[in-house]
A and B are shown apart, each in its own frame.
Chain A
């Protein structure tokens, strides 16, 4: 990076107005050739809008862009690609039933024959260490492997600027390391990278420069290596970041949840069998389950919620009462509530109002149904309470669940369960795709709930989240749960190895996982409707 070099991309005074919001307000920054430049900001800060304009999906209302010193006009993504701008989206647009090669071909202009394309794909994969069999069908791939398809697709166009939108949210630490190596190699060859993320330590590790956005404006530019994560987070949020506040490190109470040798067969081809899972959670404890997507997390949650009843009554014991054979409603009544990972379609029904969604899971514990009749007013009141206590941005109890942003819907769902004050709450991916502010709020709510005397199980792929929240952590891999470890004294490397499989080497772990047919978490896959879970 030389100071006097012409910038690869220069953005000057870009503004974009949406109805009611100024999404970008005179944003300016520049990216040098070979520079890895971070765009840092909360959800809604305007990062996505900004890169969408650079990639030609949207047009700016005002301002100009320059590409290697020349004015840059991109009317559509195709024009952007022809200029050498590539983008890897957070949500992959892949075709599940088609092969890797077919997916890549669909993203190309079609001037190459399949044979030639395959040769080029193999070359790119070789050069950047992105190993993948072009003949594999996408539905059998892990999330990390799916991302590699998108990266290969972008690299085939020999980009001079690669935009990466939240690329690590679903990867294991080892996969992240691998991705960073690829990105560094690209940068060393002169490709500029625009890296969007809210994971501060990654930005510190990878990026040369960071532009921080808040409310559509650039609020700062910094060298991440010289900043602390805290200082960058404060710039991003525009105030001091509240650390999770805990009361006294009180001793944990009695055992509220005991899982005893829980085993379950695979429920479908892409599922994972649960093998002899045992753990205990005490009153006031937050118990974390780490692991890469598709290693049995969904099955574990379904086993806990009662969607998949356990084979034995005493496999799940809630405060001395066996729960193993009960269904979701009976478990909820008894005080075991669950929040699945998939917000829309599993935890909530998108086409229903918030109030109706509240009735679906809170009807027993909150008395929202009496002699078979829905108590509309009580439901509305409860919904209002959730909205105000959890600062859900919604027009009111009658707002359609599907109309809420991901973070707001998640706050609503968490609120709906937490305000029922269950003895045990099991949540999967509580902050997946949620902005930092909402995530901090949800984390605090979980900690408060534990301190008020509940036991909480958090299933998450985000190690940072687990390390910040939990007292105890264990790792799920291929349907087996590792021993529980106190959070103090556990290292990320150790957890990473457990996540990669007990065999130790990453390669074997990866292959085994693939053979297991990892079911993907929400990002790319089409989820089957699981609305019945809430209806049940």
Chain B
């Protein structure tokens, strides 16, 4: 395999990994607070369509990203009101959110089918982005660097700040946290909103980073992979980064297996597409084989909390 193809694969992989990483980081924070939001795919699609529409109409991708984040937050608040304030079932509500987002983006996106949008300007000068080798480091959208920054910030927030400690405490033992005077519902609202913003941005990555036009259902189930990724990473941001790139690489191989041929035809593309899920199952089996009590999963994950019972 020659060096140019390798570099091309790396660059495709980084692109494919970025939305996965962003969405999974958001979900990691949500789950650490004890909430399971299965609606990532729906929030991503909403973010994608809103991000596309705003960028198309204003010509400014930054505004598009901001609007996508906001749209993600708004949809996630729908989920938060239902599950946190009204204590509805988180699994069912999350699935409903995904169905909603799919329908909403399809309807709203119809008007934009086939239209092109402006992309981000490169952050680095051309000497770096067009260099045959250096472009591996510099020829990316700002969203890619943003995802690295967020990985670090999420780790730092959860491990080093008091607010992060409280968030973990809420996910670990909601009743104790409540009795210590922390607002379980308040913390969870915040976490779900963050997850919504990240999923919205992750969704906007598809038109603004990968394919600069509107295609219905363009996220192609990556929201589910992000969900699997959180489990795969045992709720740790560092492993999440590694996992996102592994899954991104697999997604790239799938793409190349479909388009090119030859060397990439080791496995059919459908099998490549299923690899992230298979890998997650393998990791789950490995975790339970280790017989450790602590898989990293927050103890109160998915349990509704009502202060008075």
Contacts and interface: CB of A to CB of B under 8 A. Distances in A.
Contact of A95 (B169, B181, B292, B294): B169
A315 B154 CA distance: 53
B292 A269 contact: yes
Given A98-B168, A98-B169, A102-B165, A139 B294 contact: yes
Max chain A CB contacts within 10 Å: which of B175, B291, B293? B293
Nearest to B173: A95
A105 B163 CA distance: 11
B165 A106 contact: yes
Contacts of B180: 93, 106-107
Given A102-B165, A526-B299, A139 B179 contact: no
A97 B172 contact: yes
Contacts of A269: 291-293
A270 interface: yes
B107 to A, nearest CB: 42
B173 A77 contact: no
Contact of A98 (B162, B172, B293): B172
Main secondary structure of the interface of A (DSSP, over half): loop
B45 to A, nearest CB: 34
A110 B162 contact: yes
Contacts of B182: 106
A268 interface: yes
Interface residues of B, number: 20
A52 to B, nearest CB: 12
Contacts of B11: none
B296 to A, nearest CB: 8
A289 interface: no
Interface string B267-300: 0000000000000000000000001111000110
Interface string A282-297: 0000000000000000
Contacts of A105: 162, 165
Contacts of B166: 106
Nearest to B297: A97
Interface string B175-212: 11101111000000000000000000000000000000
Given A93-B173, A95-B169, A107-B180, 6 more contacts: A78-B181, A95-B172, A95-B176, A97-B294, A269-B293, A270-B293
Interface of B: 162, 165-166, 168-169, 172-173, 175-177, 179-182, 291-294, 298-299
16 contacts: A76-B181, A77-B181, A93-B180, A95-B169, A97-B168, A97-B299, A98-B168, A102-B169, A105-B162, A105-B165, A106-B182, A137-B294, A139-B294, A269-B291, A270-B293, A526-B173
Interface of A: 76-78, 93-98, 102, 105-107, 110, 137, 139, 268-270, 526
**7 A-B pairs closest in CB distance:** A93-B176, A95-B172, A269-B291, A95-B173, A110-B162, A97-B172, A95-B169
